[in-house]
Amino acid sequence: MTRTVREATYDLLRQLGLTTIFGNPGSTEEPFLQHFPADFTYVLGLQEASVLAMADGYAQATGRPALINLHTFAGVGHAMGNLICAFYNKTPLIVTAGQQTREMLLLEPYLTNVQAVETPRPWVKWSYEPVRAVDVPAAFMRAYATAVQPPAGPVFLSLPMDDFEKPAPGAAVVRTQSQRVGPDPARLQEFAQEINRARSPVLVLGAALDRSDGWEVAHQFAEKLKVPVWAPPETERAVFSEKHPLFQGFLPFAIAPLSDKLTGHDLVLVIGAPVFRYYPYVPGEYLPEGTRLLHITDDPAEAARAPVGDSLLGDTRLAIQGLLELVNPGQYPPVPPRALKRELPNPPGAMLTPAEVFATLQENRPADAVLLLESTSNAEEFHTWVPITEPHSFSLFASGGLGWALPAAVGFASAERDTGRRRPVIAVLGDGTANYSIQALYTAAQHHLPVVFLILHNQEYGILKAFAEQQKTFGVPGIDLPGLDFVALAIGYGCAAFRVATSDVFSQALQDALRRAGPTVLEIPITAAVAPLL
Ligand SMILES: Cc1ncc(C[n+]2csc(CCOP(=O)(O)OP(=O)(O)O)c2C)c(N)n1
Ligand SMILES: [Mg+2]
Amino acid 344: pLDDT: 79
Closest CA to 91 of 152, 144, 150: 152
- The amino acid that residue 366 corresponds to is P
- Mean pLDDT, residues 496-503 taken together: 97
| CB of 432 sitting under 6 A from ligand 1 | yes
| CB of 401 sitting under 6 A from ligand 1 | yes
Average pLDDT of the chain to the nearest whole number: 96
- Residue 481 CA, closest ligand 1 atom number: 16
Amino acid 345: pLDDT: 65
Per-residue pLDDT tens for 6-28?
A: 999 999 999 999 999 999 999 99
Per-residue pLDDT tens for 170-223?
A: 888 999 999 999 999 999 999 999 999 999 999 999 999 999 999 999 999 999
| CB of 439 sitting under 6 A from ligand 1 | no
Amino acid 341: pLDDT: 81
Which of 433, 456, 467, 530 gets mutated to test ligand 1 (max ligand atoms within 8 A of its CB)?
433
Distance CA 384, CA 379 (A): 9
Nearest CA to ligand 1 atom 22: 461
Amino acid 534: pLDDT: 83
DSSP per residue, 44-71: E-SSHHHHHHHHHHHHHHHTS-EEEEE-
| CB of 409 sitting under 6 A from ligand 1 | no
- Residue 465 CA, closest ligand 1 atom number: 19
pLDDT grade for 337, boundaries at 50, 70 and 90: confident
Distance CA 534, CA 521 (A): 31
- Residue 430 CA, closest ligand 1 atom number: 15
Contacts of 262 (CB under 8 A, 6+ apart): 202, 268, 287, 288, 291
- Whether the pLDDT of residue 2 is over 90: the answer is no
User: Is the pTM of the predicted complex or chain greater than 0.75?
Assistant: yes
Per-residue pLDDT tens for 261-272?
A: 999 999 999 999
Nearest CA to ligand 1 atom 10: 461
- Mean pLDDT, residues 427-441 taken together: 98
| CB of 354 sitting under 6 A from ligand 1 | no
Per-residue pLDDT tens for 399-419?
A: 999 999 999 999 999 999 999
- Mean pLDDT, residues 51-75 taken together: 98
pLDDT grade for 346, boundaries at 50, 70 and 90: low
DSSP per residue, 116-174: TTTTTTTSSS-EE--SSGGGHHHHHHHHHHHHHSSSP-EEEEEEETTSTTSEE-SPPPP
| CB of 81 sitting under 6 A from ligand 1 | yes
Furthest-apart CA atoms within the chain: distance in Å: 77
Amino acid 1: pLDDT: 65
| CB of 100 sitting under 6 A from ligand 1 | no
Element of type H or E holding 324? helix 316-326
| CB of 375 sitting under 6 A from ligand 1 | yes
